[in-house]
Homo-oligomer: A and B are copies of this chain.
Amino acid sequence: MQTTQTTTDTTSQDSAAYAPTDRTVPTRSKERASYDKESVHRILDEAYVCHLGFVRDGAPVVLPTLYGRVGDRLYVHGSTGSRPLRMAGAGQEQADPGLKVCLTVTHVDGLVLARSAFHHSINYRSVVVHGTAYQVTDPEEKRAALDSLVDHVVPGRTADSRPANAKELAATAVLRLDLDEVSAKARTGGPNDEPEDMDLSHWAGVVPLRKGYDALIPSADLAPGIEVPDYLA
């Protein structure tokens, strides 16, 4: 497509995708990988938790946690006493060695039932981010990061909740992770059975997983007269 688009320059082409690296090119099923920002952001924005990996005493640790996205930057937060937050150091970026992390987000979309046990699989979409996370020390960036975390749970919710006060801000540490070394991976479609298995009598196909919401559960102590906001209806 690019060859016929005379208005496309290399700058805009570069900004639409993350550059593949040794770590983000899979050793297998390369055709499932993609690097365009739109795909990556869509997968990130649709999930609620990521799995954050870091190394502690030479061993891996993987913890589920909330996150927020602002452009090409992700934020995770935690108590100032929590392990990964403490490990990431505090101080300025120049002096802060940061914390090597791998942040992964996965959607399971369907169960793939093949005629052969071997070809059973899962339809999924995932994003894997490699990088170094740094503590956010700038107060303005920290507040925007925390807003992005709340708005990630429910878009628009920041504007309809009591903002964090000084004590809460002080108790919360925020880590910043730039989206730079990133890839998306997805499997879609039905089973890939072997040609010689096509006549077997086993049912084959996909069991799609449905995601949705159940009826809201208002807090037991919710004051009378508080209506459900439009963004939850």
Contacts and interface: CB of A to CB of B under 8 A. Distances in A.
A106 interface: yes
Contacts of A28: 79, 81-82
Contacts of A190: 217, 219-220
Contact of A202 (B161, B204, B211): B161
B216 A207 contact: yes
A41 interface: no
B220 A117 contact: no
A176 interface: no
A201 interface: yes
Contacts of A206: 216-217
Interface string A120-162: 1110101010100000000000000011011001100110111
A33 interface: no
A34 interface: no
Interface stretch (A8-16, A48-56, A89-97): A48-56
A104 B50 CA distance: 11
Nearest to A217: B206
- Bin the interface of chain A by size: 35 or more
Contact of A232 (B51, B52, B203): B203
A223 B211 contact: no
A108 to B, nearest CB: 5
Best-buried of A150, A193, A203, A217 by chain B (most CB within 10 Å): A203
Contact of A199 (B126, B207, B223): B223
Interface of A: 23, 27-28, 48-49, 51-55, 58-64, 66, 79, 81-83, 100-104, 106, 108, 110-111, 113-118, 120-122, 124, 126, 128, 130, 146-147, 149-150, 153-154, 157-158, 160-165, 168, 172, 190-191, 193, 197-223, 226-229, 232
Given A62-B102, A113-B157, A117-B150, 19 more contacts: A27-B81, A48-B111, A59-B100, A60-B60, A66-B121, A66-B122, A113-B154, A116-B168, A117-B163, A117-B164, A118-B165, A120-B153, A162-B202, A203-B218, A207-B232, A208-B216, A209-B213, A209-B214, A210-B214
The 9 closest A-B pairs by CB, nearest first: A53-B62, A53-B60, A51-B51, A208-B214, A64-B106, A205-B218, A53-B53, A62-B104, A118-B168
